[in-house]
Amino acid sequence: MSTTGTLHTPSQVADRRAKAPHSSMFARMLLRAAVLRRRRAAAALLAMVVAAAVATAMMNLYVDVQAKLRTEFRNYGANIIVVGKDGQSLSLPADALTKVESATSPGAKALAVAFSYAVARTKDGQSVVVVGTDFTRARQLNHWWKVSHWPDGQNQALIGMRAANVVSPNRQPFELTFQGKAIELTPAGMLQTGAGEDSRIYLDQSQFQNWTGVAPSTIEVAVNGTAAEVETSVRQLAQLLPSADVRPVRQIMEGEANVLNKTRATLYASATLVVLTSALCVLATLMGWVFDRRRDFAIMKALGASERLVNGFFAAEAAAMGAVGAILGFFIGIGVAVWIGRANFHAPVVPRFSVFPYVLAGSVAVALISAILPIIMLRRVQPAIILRGE
Amino acid sequence: MFPRIVYESFRHQARRKLLAGIAITLGVAVATAMIAVATDIGDKINRELRSYGANLVVTPQEDTLDVEVGGVNLKPPSDGAFLNEADLPKIRGTFWHNNIVGFSPMLPVTVKIANGSGAKDVTEDVTLVGTYFNKQLHFGKQDFTTGVRITHPWWRVEGKCGDGALPRRGRVEDSPATCGWPNDDSQNILIGERLAAKLAKRPGDTLDVAGRQLTIFGILSTGAAEDDEIVAPLALAQQILGKPGAVRRVYVSALTKPQDAFATQDPNTMTPEVRDRWYCSPYVQSIAFQLQEVIPHSHAEQIRQVAQNEGTVLSRIKGLMLLVTLAALFASALAVSAAMATAIFERRVEVGLMKALGAGNLAVSAIFFAEALLLALIGGIAGFSAGALLARQIGRSIFNSQISIEPVLFPVILAIAVIVTFAGSAAAIRRAVKFDPVFALRGEG
C-alpha cells in the first residue's frame, strides 16, 4: 500500500505510465471499451456465442449422426453371411463360429449367429424345415422377429406362423422325424416375419444337434461400421475360413449406403446453411459494434495513432471477442448436440473436441472480417468529419 | 409527411437499408429452403428406403409350407396353390396405388440343366425363377412398368446390350441400366454368378434348360440365393411348369407411414369411422389389407425385416431434420434481428432531431416499424424466391428429384419474416426512442 501511495504525484504517474510496457495500454483500451459499453459489447458477444454454439452443435451432429444411424441400420440384421462352399447344405467347420467371433469381436461391435438346417417330416408325412440356432443371439440379431414367447426349456420349439398351421394348429405337442429318429416338441411361441422363417420350426442348437447330428451350415454376422470396414471384415473372414464362402448381404449393404449417403448430404447442406446464417448474424452485430465506435477511431487517429496501430487495435478487439465467443459457444453447442442425441436417437452423443479448432478459427475469422469491413469504410473519412458528428 | 419520411429514408440511407435487407433476404431464404427440405425429407427418404426392396409379400391363401434350405427349393414344383397373373395389374387399383412403387411376381420352378460340357445325360437340379424384369402393364387407362428392376434395385446384371455386343466403355447406350436385362417377352434368361462360374458360361452362350435351348443374356449378381439360380421371364417359367398364368408369390414395394399403435389394430374389430381412418392411412397393414381385397384368394403380409425397420429410420431422420430446421430458423431470426438492431442504433441522432421537433414516441416508433415492415416484405419476397431455388437445387443434387414448395408456405414465410423483423427491431426502437434527444444531438451517443 505504501508504495502505491507514493506514486500519486503527477510527475510520478507520468513517469510510471511512460515506463509501463506499451502492451498494458493496449490491453487497457481493449478492456475499458468493453466495460464502458457493456450492453453493446454483450450484444456482440451474445451473437458470437450463439453462432459458435449453433456451429458446434451442427458439426458435432454431422460427425456423430452417421455413427448413430449406422447403429439404427444394424436393426436390419446381418450384413455378412458365411456359408459352406459349393452348395449350401454343406456344413461349416466345427470351429467356424469361434473363428468368426475372434475375427470380428475386438473393437467392432459384431454379432454372429449360427444356423443349421434339416428337413424333417411330420406324422402325416409333410416336409418341414427345422432350424437349430442360439435363441439369445438370434433375438439380438433379428429385432424384427415378432415372437409371442421365446422358448426357454427342453423340447420347446419356436414355430413359424405358417408351419404352425401344419404341425400344431391347436398349439398341441407334436412329433417330428428325421432319418428315422423321432422327437416330441412343445410349441413355446409363434414366430412371424413375413418371410421364409414363417414356414420353419426353430430349435435350440444343442438339442437340434443331438437329434439330427447336423452341424451349422450358415453363420449370419452383423458388423457395425462403414462400408469399408465391412469389406475388411469380409476379407478377413474369407482368409480365416478358406472352406467357406463369405459374402456381404448386398440388399442390406446397398440400402444402407443409399439412405446414409442421402441423409449425410442433406445434413451437410443444412449444417452449411445454418453455419453461414450464424456467421451472417455475427457479421451484422460486429459491424455495428465497430462502426458505432467511429468516434474512438477518430480520436485515436487525431492523437497521432498510426494506421497500423488503429487497425491492430480493432482487429485485436474483434479477435478477442471471437475467441471468447467461440469458447463459450463451444460448450453450449456440445450441450445442444447431446440434448439432440438424447431426444432424437435416445443415445448419448459423444462430445467431439476435435471440432473445437475449427469453431475457434471460424469465429475469429468471421469476427476479423466483420471488423475489417467497417474499418475500410472509415479509413476514407477524415477524423475531423467524424468528430464533428457528421 | 409520414410516407415521405419513410421514402426519403430509403433513398438516402440506401447502404444501411441494403445491409438489413440482405440479412433479411438471406435469413428468409435459409428458412424457406430448410422448411421445404424438412417437409419433403420424409417422402424423399421413404423412396430411398425402397432400395431395401419390397416390404410386402402376397401369397396364395391356401399355400403349403415352403420347404427351402439356403435357396434350394425342396417342395414338389406343382405342389401348393398359385395366384393368377391376370389379377396382378389390379394392384394399381387399390386405394393407395400411388404409394405402390412397384411389384414383382415370382414363380420358382425346379428344372434340370445339362451339367458342364457336352455330356447330355449328366443333369442337375437348379431353381429357375420366373419374374418380371421391366414389364409393361396397364390397368384401366394407366400404363405402367414394374418388375425386379424397381423392387430389387441391388440386383446387378452384366451382359449383352441391345445390339448383342458386350458393354463398351464410354457408350451411353451401353450403361449397366440398359445392358444385360432380357426382354420380358423373350426366351432369354439370366443366370446367377456362382452358377455361371460353375458351368463356365458367359453371356451369349446357350444353356439346355428342361430340354430347351435358352440364350443366356446376362450374369446376375445379388449376393443372395439368386446367385445359384436361373432367372427367366415369367411367361417362360409358366411354360416350363405347364401352368399358364401361375404366380407363386408377389413382392410389393410400397411407400408407407411409420407404424404406430393404431396401425396394428385389427380392422375387423373397429367401428366404421375408425376403420375408414385406418383404411385411408398408408400403414403397411392397411396396404396389405387392400392387396388382399383386390387379389382373390390371397394373403398379404408385411416383410418385417424391411417394413419394421424403415419406420424407425424414417422417424429418426425426420426428427433430426426437424431439429436442424429449428436451429436454422433460430439462426436466421437472430441474424435478422441483429441486422435490424444495428441499423436502428445508428440512427439515434435522427431520432433526437425528430423528438426535438416535437414528434412523440408513437410517431417515431411508427416510422421505424413502417420501414421495418417494408424491408421485411421486400426481403421476404426476395428470400422466398431464393429459398425456393435453393431447395430445388438441394433436391436435384441430392435426391435427383424436385423438392416442391407448397404455395401455402409463402404467406406463412412472409408473416414469419415480418414478425421476426418486428421482434428484432422492437428492443432497438424502444431504446432509440427513450434516448434523451439532448444527448443525441450533442453527439454523445
Per-residue HEC secondary structure of A174-212 comes to EEEEECCEEEEEEEEEEEECCCHHHHEEEEEHHHHHHHH
Q: Are residues B100 and B128 in the same domain?
A: yes
Q: Is beta strand B72-73 parallel, antiparallel or unpaired with respect to B68-69? A: antiparallel
Would an 8 Å CB–CB cutoff place A389 in contact with chain B? yes
Residue B184: domain span: 55-302
| B60 contacts: CB under 8 Å, gap ≥ 6 | B80, B81, B82, B83, B248, B249, B297, B298, B299
Which cell goes with B109? 420352378
Which cell goes with B280? 385411408
| Of A244-258, B152-166, B233-247, highest mean pLDDT | B233-247
Interface of B with A in 84-143 (CB under 8 A): none
Mean pLDDT of chain B: 84
Q: Are residues B246 and B321 in the same domain?
A: no
Would you say residue B50 lies in a domain?
no
Q: Are residues B435 and B330 in the same domain?
A: yes
Of B357, B362, B343, B344, nearest in space to B437 by CA: B357
Other CB atoms within a 10 A radius of the CB of residue A272 amount to 13
- Residue B167: per-residue pLDDT: 62
| Of A308-317, A359-368, B74-83, B342-351, highest mean pLDDT | A359-368
Is pLDDT above 80 for B320? yes
What is the rounded CA–CA span in Å between residue B331 and residue B214? 64
Of A186, A252, A263, A196, nearest in space to A224 by CA: A252
Side-chain half-sphere exposure of A24, counting CA atoms within 13 A? 6
Which residues in chain B have their CB less than 8 angstroms from residue A120's CB?
none
- Cα A215 to Cα A94, A96, A208, A210, distances in angstroms: 7, 11, 9, 10
Q: Are residues B140 and B172 in the same domain?
A: yes
What is the rounded CA–CA span in Å between residue B292 and residue B58? 8
What element of type H or E holds B110? Answer: strand B100-114
Would you say residue B117 lies in a domain?
yes
Would you say residue B270 lies in a domain?
yes
Q: Is beta strand B156-159 parallel, antiparallel or unpaired with respect to B188-192? A: unpaired
Which cell goes with B413? 414465410
Contact B146, B135 (CB under 8 A): yes
- Could you say which DSSP state residue A62 is in? H
CA terminus-to-terminus distance, chain A: 47
Q: How many domains does chain B have?
A: 2
Is pLDDT above 70 for A1? no
Is pLDDT above 90 for A8? no
Beta bridge partners of B190: B218, B231
By CB neighbour count within 10 A (0-12 exposed, 13-18 middle, 19+ buried), where does A13 fall?
exposed
Report the pLDDT averaged over residues A224-249. Answer: 86
- Residue A16: per-residue pLDDT: 65
Would you say residue B308 lies in a domain?
no
CB pairs under 8 A between A and B: 230
Angle at A159 between CA A153 and CA A160, to 5 degrees: 155
Interface of A with B in 296-335 (CB under 8 A): none
Query: Where does the pLDDT of residue A107 fall: very low under 50, low under 70, confident under 90, or very high at 90 and above?
Result: low
Q: Are residues B92 and B228 in the same domain?
A: yes
Q: B54: nearest CA in chain A? A: A251
Contact A246, A237 (CB under 8 A): yes
- Residue B411: per-residue pLDDT: 92
Q: Are residues B120 and B35 in the same domain?
A: no
Other CB atoms within a 10 A radius of the CB of residue A282 amount to 29
Could you give the 3-state DSSP secondary structure of residue B224? coil
- Conformation bin of residue B298: beta by default, left when phi > 0, alpha when psi is -120 to 50: beta
Per-residue pLDDT of A337-346, as tens digits, reads 888 888 888 8
Compute the nearest-CA separation of B359 from chain A (Å). 22
What is the rounded CA–CA span in Å between residue B155 and residue A195? 19
Best of B52, B106, B250, B444 to disrupt the A interface (most A CBs within 10 Å) is B52
Q: Are residues B259 and B167 in the same domain?
A: yes
Which residues in chain B have their CB less than 8 angstroms from residue A284's CB?
19, 23, 335, 338-339, 342
DSSP string, A238-295: HHH-TTEEEEE-HHHHHHHHHHHHHHHHHHHHHHHHHHHHHHHHHHHHHHHHHHTTHH
Q: Which residue has the cell 440434448?
A: A339
Contact B391, B403 (CB under 8 A): yes
Nearest to B70 among A218, A265, A273 (CB): A218
- Residue A19: per-residue pLDDT: 63
ipTM: 0.82
What is the rounded CA–CA span in Å between residue A342 and residue A100? 33
Helices A227-240 and A250-291 meet at what angle, rounded to 10?
A: 150
- Residue B104: per-residue pLDDT: 95
What are the helix (H) ranges across B125-252? Answer: 148-151, 193-199, 234-241
Which residues in chain B have their CB less than 8 angstroms from residue A83's CB?
70
Q: Are residues B84 and B108 in the same domain?
A: yes
Query: Where does the pLDDT of residue A160 fall: very low under 50, low under 70, confident under 90, or very high at 90 and above?
Result: very high
Q: Are residues B273 and B330 in the same domain?
A: no
Compute the nearest-CA separation of B244 from chain A (Å). 25
Query: Where does the pLDDT of residue A326 fall: very low under 50, low under 70, confident under 90, or very high at 90 and above?
Result: very high
Report the pLDDT averaged over residues B406-435. Answer: 85
Beta bridge partners of B106: B131, B249
What is the rounded CA–CA span in Å between residue B200 and residue A385? 91
Q: Give the lowest-confidence range in A35-44, B54-63, B142-151, B397-406.
A: A35-44
Per-residue pLDDT of B93-139, as tens digits, reads 888 888 999 999 999 888 888 765 555 556 778 889 999 999 999 88
Report the pLDDT averaged over residues B79-89. Answer: 87
By CB neighbour count within 10 A (0-12 exposed, 13-18 middle, 19+ buried), where does A253 fall?
buried
- Cα B126 to Cα A107, A271, B111, B246, distances in angstroms: 41, 52, 5, 19
Among B256, B279, B302, residue at a domain's last position: B302
Q: Are residues B291 and B332 in the same domain?
A: no
Would an 8 Å CB–CB cutoff place A292 in contact with chain B? yes
Contact B298, B292 (CB under 8 A): yes
Q: Which residue has the cell 441494403?
A: B18
**Main-chain phi, psi angles of A74, to 5 degrees:** -65, -15
Among B302, B337, B353, residue at a domain's last position: B302
- Cα A190 to Cα A157, B264, B333, distances in angstroms: 9, 17, 55
Other CB atoms within a 10 A radius of the CB of residue B337 amount to 26
Contact A160, A145 (CB under 8 A): no
- Residue A2: per-residue pLDDT: 43
Could you give the 3-state DSSP secondary structure of residue B281? coil
Among B280, B302, B324, residue at a domain's last position: B302
Q: Give the lowest-confidence range in A37-46, B101-110, B376-385, B408-417.
A: A37-46
Q: Are residues B74 and B111 in the same domain?
A: yes
| B219 contacts: CB under 8 Å, gap ≥ 6 | B157, B158, B159, B180, B190, B191, B192, B193, B196, B202, B203
Per-residue pLDDT of B153-174, as tens digits, reads 889 888 877 666 666 655 555 5
Q: Is beta strand A146-147 parallel, antiparallel or unpaired with respect to A181-192? A: antiparallel
Which cell goes with A362? 471460424
Report the pLDDT averaged over residues A77-89. Answer: 75
- Residue A3: per-residue pLDDT: 45
What is the rounded CA–CA span in Å between residue A172 and residue B5? 91
Interface contact B394-A269, CB threshold 8 A: yes
Would you say residue B247 lies in a domain?
yes
Would you say residue B348 lies in a domain?
yes
Q: Give the lowest-confidence range in A375-379, B94-98, B237-241, B321-325.
A: A375-379
Q: A54: nearest CA in chain B? A: B327
| A168 contacts: CB under 8 Å, gap ≥ 6 | A159, A174, A187
What are the helix (H) ranges across B73-184? Answer: 148-151
Q: Give the lowest-confidence range in A285-289, B76-80, B258-262.
A: B76-80
Would you say residue B379 lies in a domain?
yes
Would you say residue B49 lies in a domain?
no
Q: Are residues B385 and B269 in the same domain?
A: no
